[in-house]
Amino acid sequence: MDRLGGIVFTVGDAAYEEGTASNFRDCYEPTWGRLKDRTLLSAVGNHEYKTPNAAAYFAYFGSSAGRPGHGWRSLDVGAWHIVILNSNCDIVGCGSGSAQLRWLKADLAAHQARCTLAIWHHPLFSSGAHGNDPAVRPFWRALRAAGADLVVNGHEHDYERFAPQTAGGALDRSSGIRELVVGTGGARLRRFKTIKPHSRFRLSTFGIIQLTLHRASYTWRFLRTDGTVADAGTTGCH
C-alpha cells in the first residue's frame, strides 16, 4: 500500500472490534495510519459506534470523517464529485425528512459534476452474510436522479462487484449505479450466502480497491495483498 500513490479512503469499521481510541492506536495507526495524511475520505461503520457516538473515530479522522455526530461530507477530486455518507441509519437517519438526505440532495444539486462517486458502509445490494440493506435505498434514489456513477461500500467481509442497477435492483446499463463492496481490509473473511441478481464478481480474500478517476470514466482494480489483480475494468460516466 505504501507504493501506491493517490488519495486513500475508508469504508467503515477501520479499527475492529469496538472502534475505541486504543483500537485506532494499536491496530489502525501502525498500518493504514501511516497514510493518514493522504486519507481525505472516511466513512463511519457500525463497529465505530460500539464506542458511544463513534467519538474515537471522529477524533481520529478529523475533517475527513465529516462533522462529529453527522458523518457526511463531500469534496471534488479532479473532475469527480465525491460524497461520504453515514449509513448507520438507526442512529443518524437516512430516509425521507432526515437531515442527511436533505443535505445529500442539496449537495448533488449544487455540484453538477460529470462523474460522481458515493462512499458509505452498508451496501444496498449484497450476496454476503448480511445481505441487502434497504435502509440506504433513499441514498441510491437521490444519487441516481443526479446521475451518479459509482458506490463503494464495506460491512461485508468479502469483495463483490455488481452491474449498474436502479434502487429497486433492476439492471440499468444507461443510468444505473455500479456498486463495489470492499470489506476485505483485515477482519475475518466470510462466505457468500444468497447470490443476488446482477452480481458479476465475488471473492473472499484480503485486498484493497484501487480506483483511477478519469475525466469522463473510471477504472477499478481489486488488488490482493500480494499485489496481484483479481478484478478490473473501465466504465464511462453517465
pLDDT tens across 142-154, in order? Answer: 999 999 999 999 9
Looking at residue 1, its pLDDT comes to: 58
Q: Are 196 and 168 in contact (CB under 8 A)?
A: no
pLDDT tens across 169-186, in order? Answer: 999 999 999 999 999 998
Average pLDDT on 40-62 reads: 98
Contacts of 73 (CB under 8 A, 6+ apart): 63, 65, 66, 67, 83, 84
Average pLDDT on 156-160 reads: 98
pLDDT tens across 76-91, in order? Answer: 999 999 999 999 999 9
The cell for 222 is 481489486
Average pLDDT on 196-221 reads: 98
Which of 17, 11, 43 lies closest to 182 in space, CA to CA?
11
Average pLDDT on 55-60 reads: 98
The answer, yes or no, to whether residue 129 has pLDDT greater than 70, is yes
Looking at residue 178, its pLDDT comes to: 98
The cell for 158 is 468479502
Percent of the chain scoring above 90 in pLDDT: 96
Which of 80, 83, 1, 74 lies closest to 34 in space, CA to CA?
1
Domain range summary for the chain, segments of one domain joined by +: 75-236
SS3 234: strand
Residue 102: C-alpha distances to residues 83, 111, 138 (Å): 13, 15, 11
Q: Taking all residues of the chain, what is their mean pLDDT, rounded to a whole number?
A: 96
pLDDT tens across 220-236, in order? Answer: 999 999 999 999 999 99
Strand partners, 119: 84, 152
Question: Using the 8-state DSSP alphabet, how is residue 14 labeled?
Answer: -
Residue 73 dihedral angles phi and psi, to the nearest 5°: -165, 175
List of E strands, the chain: 8-10, 39-42, 73-77, 80-84, 115-119, 150-153, 159-162, 178-182, 199-203, 207-213, 217-224, 229-236
Report the CATH superfamily, name and number, of domain 75-236.
Answer: Metallo-dependent phosphatases (3.60.21.10)
